[in-house]
Structure 1
Amino acid sequence: MYIRMGCGFRSIVNGLELFNDFLGGALGVIPSHQTIENWLLKAGIVEYLDSCNKFRGKEYSIIIDESITVGSQKLLVILAAPAQHEGKTLKHGDVEVLAMAVSSSWKAGDVEREIIKLKDKIGKTPKYIVSDNGHNLRKGAELADVPRHRDISHTIGLILEDEYKERTDFKEFMDIMNKKRLSYQLTANAYLLPPKLRTISRFMNMSKWVEWAWAILQVYDDLGESQKAAYTFVLDYKELVTELYHVMETVDVVFTKVKKEGLSHTSAKYCKDYIWINLLRKDEIAEGCKRVGRAIRRYINEECALLKSKDECHNITSDIIESTFGVYKSIQPKNKHCGITPIVLALPLYGKVTDSKKRRKRPKGDCPWRADAAA
């Protein structure tokens, strides 16, 4: 209930008491919220300590990242996944939490030591690492002498940032969109407002507002006079919106292909061909599209250099660890000054509880409280 439903420990007690009343006391004595928390932490420790055993003698990869600062601390998490991509998007049930460590900061040498510890625990060095482009993570992998894949989401986000961040038309359009969001709230035109623009990782999350701008262009002639007057600014940036739409449509195809099927020579060829057809081959395509397309193709070629055979297929996305940090953010204490608390031990359990294939199946008709009630 704590992990799957997001209930607090006291809410779990209330829920169990409600069920107990409904069942006529069949559940017996309901444990206290502190007891339930202790059970959770103990189960988390057991799962965490056992995680390394699951990769002994196997080829594995690791996904590594550090959290934002919580209080004065940062959490470094290392997840393990099979080295050979299994042809599906990674879920929490597909990875194991190999390491969780807390520090005020994580330098390259610290990251290197955590990676080396895995060799001592598992008996084998990871085949490759997946991380974002943080200097400490990049340098730590280099010091540990383990090949590293750059996360596709962060890397393409940087490519988009390099192309558009300083472009005058892009900055003007973003500024106008922000102002329109403020001026048209609580008005009759609010239903057409653009999505909220993110301040962090803005270039990794462009798809929604680009789709919004493209949709406005497609339906503009069918809008009422008031709506046309409110959103006529989109027409002024039609060339930019069209360029961004072509770029993001291609980026989304590349993301879907690589994140679902992994990076292999086959998927790489598909992505490079798609980029060639949609962003490079056509004469009428904007130069910005072509620069982005060439940069993404270079990135794919560089990552393919780590594939040692035609049959290898690697994971090159760290989305799953970003999701893991999201899980911790949802359960961490509201008071950030507490720093990283022991509740972090719930993370190793998350994949086991949320993945239906890994949850233990109870024999049909076997209800645990019936024996207790009979006793």
Structure 2
Amino acid sequence: MIDMSIGLGTGKILTVLALNAHHHQLCPVAPGLQDLHCMAVSVADSWTGESIAAFLDRLIASAGRPAAYLKDGGTDLQKAIHLLGAQGLASPCIDDISHVIANLLKWWYQDHPLFETFLSACGRVSGKLKQTVLACLAPPKVQTKARFMNVHRLIRWAEQLLRLSPAGGARKGSTLSKLRACLDRLPSCRAFIKRFRDDAVPLLECQKIFKARGLSHSTIAQCEPFIQAIGSSPVRREFVAYLQNQLQIAAKLGLDHIGLPVTSDPIESLFGLGKFHGTGEIKDANRIALRLPALCGTPTRAEAEQVIKISVAEEQQITGRFTSLVKQRREVLPHPDRLESLSTEQAGTHLELIASAKNRENNGKILYIPISYKETHGPQLQCQTGHG
């Protein structure tokens, strides 16, 4: 499971987590952080397909080749996996279902003539409702980045809000009349709202099933009524094509009757937790990345005791070699003459964590974390190529 996240400053965090491919055989619910092991974390000023491929190549040399990659639709990640395949290190690529559905809705609706009208109306309605007696009816907040991951929440809200204003007159000064004064152009978007809902709701019902039980012959059969209920035939056709493609990967891995994991939600949760716990006001990428491995899996008593024994001096010795926004802030703000030092920081001062190798490189910039995914519970996937 691979993804990237950002903190403050130039650092961008690349994280690789390991999930047992047989998770849905071992557990009846969607995978969580307790089911994952952090295999590698690295911070860089920027990531390209080439640099990601080089990093994964080092990880493969240390921990072995994965049965498959699970990722979102990022082009850099896609290019990296393609480059590894060209080097003879190919593994199947599983596309996260949330991003697939969001991209389907984006492909079909972003150029719809009423889409921007709907979003603008939602913004104006929000402004009119806030700081009034009707504030509880304000729309949910939807980020502009990755908008189609959450735009269905706005659709559901708008549909419910319009139900509060049925046809007919409203007494002057009544709550209904006040609400209608706030609706802006939302009533003119009723047809668009219904059309979007007819596509999004069945897709999201399928998403719930596949996230919880994985993608298999049985879960596809369970989702068939929802698939047939998708309103737009092009959207339905593209979604079926995605399912068939992923089912072929599941069959190749021997998981088509068990359930192929198709959600990368845990890694998104990991980034959220990493930015919240122990980072303080300044969300330094290196500081965040250093904590990510500890938030995965369930630590043993021996591991907890090992952490307790680490002294403050040892901790500072490890973390002191990496670029720190907090340290830079303390050094520069009281000393204006040191401003130029921010542009002359030496390269190669970012954090990198890699699961322990049998033969460790003599590289002072890399910290090795003793993770052995082979010790996890349950049967291990063995492919014909021999990698686990």
Q: Distance in 2 between matches of 1:206 and 1:85?
A: 30
- The one of 122, 125, 141 equivalent to 1:180 is 125
Residues 31-50 of structure 1: matches in 2 within 5 Å?
none
Amino acid at match of 1:304: L
Residue of 258, 283, 306 corresponding to 2:249: 306
The structure with the largest helix share of the pair is 1
Other-structure match for 2:69: 129
Q: Return closer, same or farther for 1:102/1:232 CA change in 2, 3 Å cut-off.
A: closer
- Residue segments in structure 2 that go unaligned for 5+ positions in a row: 85-89, 168-174, 303-388
Cα distance in 1 for residues equivalent to 2:202 and 2:248: 23
Matched-pair contact (CA < 8 Å) for 1:85–1:261: no
2:237 matched to which residue of 1? 294
For the Cα contact (< 8 Å) 1:210–1:241, is it kept in 2?
yes
Partner of 1:259: 211
Deviation >3 Å, runs of 4+: 358-361
State the match for 1:143 in structure 2.
83
Tell me which residue corresponds to 2:50: 109
**How far, CA to CA, are the matches of 1:117 and 1:73 in structure 2?**
20
Residue 203 (structure 1) aligned with residue 148 (structure 2)? yes
Structure 1 residue 235, shift from structure 2 partner: 2.6
Paired residues, what number? 283
Measured in 1, the distance between the counterparts of 2:249 and 2:163 equals 43
Look up the match of 1:99: 40
Contact (CA 8 Å) 2:105, 2:200: kept in 1 or not? no
Separation (CA, whole Å) in 2 of partners of 1:73 and 1:247: 38
Q: Secondary structure of 1:146's match? A: coil
Q: Tell me the CA shift for residue 328 of structure 1.
A: 1.6
Q: Is the 8 A contact 2:129 2:137 kept in 1?
A: no
The alpha-carbon deviation at position 339 of structure 1 amounts to 4.2
> Which TM-score applies when normalising by structure 1?
0.70
Q: 2:3 aligns with which of 59, 65, 76?
A: 65
Query: Which residue matches 1:235?
Result: 187
CA contact (8 A) 1:268 1:304 kept: no
Alignment RMSD (CA, Å)? 2.3
The answer on whether the counterparts of 1:328 and 1:347 sit within 8 Å (CA) in structure 2 is yes
2:152, 2:200 within 8 Å by CA — same for their partners in 1? yes
Q: CA deviation at 1:273?
A: 4.1
- Is 1:315 the counterpart of 2:261 in the alignment? yes
The AA in structure 2 aligned to 1:131 is K
Q: Amino acid of the residue matched to residue 101 of structure 1? A: S
How far is the alpha carbon of 1:153 from its aligned partner?
1.0
2:203 touches 2:226 (CA, 8 Å); kept in 1? no
CA distance in 2, matches of 1:251, 1:112: 33
The yes-or-no answer on 1:245 pairing with 2:197 is yes
Larger RCO: 1 or 2 (CA < 8 Å, sep 6+): 2
Work out the percentage of aligned pairs sharing the same amino acid. Answer: 26
TM-fit CA distance, 1:232: 6.5
Given residue 142 of structure 1, which amino acid in structure 2 is its aligned partner?
Answer: H
> Are 2:16 and 2:38, in contact at CA under 8 Å, matched by a contact in 1?
yes
Q: Does the Cα contact within 8 Å between 1:151 and 1:317 map onto a contact in 2? A: yes
- Is 2:156–2:197's contact at 8 Å kept on the other side of the alignment? yes
